[in-house]
Amino acid sequence: MSSIIEINNTTVSYRENIAVSNISLTIDEGQFLAIIGPNGAGKTTLLTIINGLGKILSGSARILGIKLTNRTANQIRKEIGYVPQMCSIDPRSPISVKEVVMIGRFGKIGLFRHLNSNDKEIVETAMEVTGIKNLAERPIGHLSGGEQQKVAIARALAQEPRILLLDEPTANLDPKAQREIIDIIERIYKERNLTIVFVTHILSHLPNICTEAILMKQGKIFYKGKIEDALQEDRLSSLYGCPMKYA
Amino acid sequence: MLEILSYKFMQNAITASIIGGASCGIVGVFVIMMRIPFVGVAMSHSAFAGAIFGLVFGTNPLVMAILFCLGSAILIGPISDRSELDPNISIGIIFSIVLGLAFLGMGMIKGPKTEALNFIWGNILMISKNDIILMVIMGIVLLGFLFLFFKEIQSVLFHREIARAVGIPERIVFYSFLILSGMIITLNLNTIGGILIFSLIINPASAAYQITYKLKFIFLLSAIFGVASCLIGLVFSYFFNAPSGAVIIIVSSLIFGVALIFSPKRRVKTNETQSNTS
């Protein structure tokens, strides 16, 4: 397998705080990688390095074989589906579920162009895969948290991405919604063979198909390897600074 | 009633009402959805400061007003993005700077300050043909921006970070909007003045936001409410000899009040709340 993400000695800071420090990481194409760590470990920042939203202070990154710079970031982002942490949406927001999913296509088709029949087909398929077709015309702000996360995943899929970044997609959801989201992610991975980077700090939310993991603590990679090794009791306890056991 | 249409100044005022009301209504939708309500105040005071310096240095006040407004628009976005401040903070900073400059300029004007104060109060009945031509040009530019970049605008108005994440040049869209809003506000200062234009931007868009979930209709309704506010206000101010700007704002506030009372969004929310609690 060839590497699709290469991060070399990269540091990202927000004002006086170093969010991630001298991180080096290689992710192979088709890999399902979990990023695990406590709050403030730098998990989200690592995702923003990959999609070019973070400001790199030092080091470099190659994504999809392209060196990440201000000039290339926009081009790279079009190939990366990004599901950020759930944010509150105004219930009166004047945009429907289908329109939100369409946003995923807008970057890809570029300026001065409209969605053609193929683009519309891709949007429909993305809604079908995530089970939100019946919600297409509803205002996005009227949906539950679980439904909004499905819409976010559908929007990312509408990009037809090569890499899918999922930032705590199951956080703050009830158990049923968590299970549904994990099922969708597993199905997408099996059917589309994407490279998926899945961030979580809740170990029980890890999908079964996840084979590799990195543990992050205080802006550094604490461990990288097979998931079963990463989830060993002593390693997790050391990571979280308290007794931890993966059931 | 129809005799008022025979006066040239009234014809100009009606034309300005239609173009200015629609333009401010459209700009207002951006302002409301980006949650930067004070951009109107900052821009209008930038234009006011520019106009005053135009008077002080004997250059065209309108040109100076446009330059000051463009300067402010160009600064607000990057100050906010580079220093990771809320856009409202950078708007507040620009507002305080231009307000200081405006007062400085006022102090430098020798003799009566009537001409400068006209930019604060405005008078739609004094609009000239050249003003209208400029308003039409900017109105066309605004509509062009809206039609050509609607999908990008919709994405940015929904969520700036998501728009950037999918590869939309959201900064260009956001900065373009700031520049356009600055131009529209400057060219409408004569309509209702620098202070009251804030309301003509906020009220029609807020009213439209109460009524529909379709962004296209929000733009359309906001433009209609802006035009209606200006035309109804103009007629009332003519017949009751009242300051036109003030009447326009009262009308736009009433439209917002009616929209809020009869808002279908409010009804939907109430019903949902009831069904959830039952």
pTM: 0.90
Which candidate from B164, B166, B215 shows the least CB-CB separation from A95?
B215
Q: Residue A247 above 70 pLDDT?
A: no
Q: Residues B2-268: name the CATH superfamily.
A: ABC transporter involved in vitamin B12 uptake, BtuC (1.10.3470.10)
pLDDT in tens, B123-145: 788 888 888 999 999 999 999 99
Structure tokens that stand for B150 in this block: 């609607």
CA geometry: angle at B188 spanning B210 and B214, to 5°? Answer: 25
H helix or E strand, kind and range, residue A13: strand A3-14
Angle between helices B215-240 and B8-33 (to 10 degrees): 140
pLDDT at B26: 97
> Where in A29-91 does DSSP place strands (E)?
32-36, 56-63, 66-67, 80-83
Instruction: Please name the residue of chain A whose CA is at the shortest distance from the CA of residue B214.
Output: A94
Give the integer Cα–Cα distance in Å for B264 and B211. 6
Length of chain B: 278
Q: Residue B273 above 70 pLDDT?
A: no
Q: For chain B, first and last CA: distance in Å?
A: 55
Interface of B with A (CB under 8 A): 33, 84, 148-149, 151-152, 154-155, 157-159, 161-169, 209-210, 212-215, 218, 265, 268-269, 272
Q: How far is CA B48 from CA A131, B18, B37, B54, in A?
A: 54, 23, 18, 10
Q: Residue A18 above 90 pLDDT?
A: no
Q: Which DSSP state fits A84?
A: P
Structure tokens that stand for B157 in this block: 């108005």
pLDDT at A82: 96
Those of residues 134-163 in A touching chain B at CB distance below 8 A are 139-140, 142, 155, 159
ipTM: 0.91
Residue A35 in 3-state DSSP? strand
pLDDT in tens, A69-123: 989 999 999 999 999 998 888 888 999 999 999 999 999 999 999 999 999 999 9
Compute CA A191 distance to the chain's CA centroid, rounded to the nearest angstrom: 17
Q: Residue B276 above 50 pLDDT?
A: no
Amino acid at A40: G
Give the integer Cα–Cα distance in Å for B145 and B248. 27
Which candidate from B155, B157, B165 shows the least CB-CB separation from A82?
B165
Identify which of A43, A75, A2, A18 has the alpha carbon closest to the alpha carbon of residue A169.
A43
